[in-house]
Amino acid sequence: MKKRFTEEQIIAILKEAESGLSAREVCRRYGISDHLLYLAEEIRRIGSI
């Protein structure tokens, strides 16, 4: 299965979300669900990314 985003892109998306943009805006900009953004934030918080 081909991944849609590279690890570097995911990190950049998370940094954008942390910079103050609303989760809704970040999700709309990248065409991802808010659930996917939440999961990526949780994975990063745990330390896998």
The domain ranges of the chain are 7-46
pLDDT at 28: 93
pLDDT, tens digit (0-9, with 9 covering 90-100), for 1-49: 677 889 899 889 989 988 988 888 999 999 999 998 888 888 888 886 5
The answer to whether the CB of 38 falls within 8 A of the CB of 8 is no
Q: Which amino acid is at 38?
A: Y
pTM of the predicted model over 0.85: no
pLDDT at 33: 92
Say how far apart CA 48 and CA 14 lie, in whole Å: 13
pLDDT at 27: 92
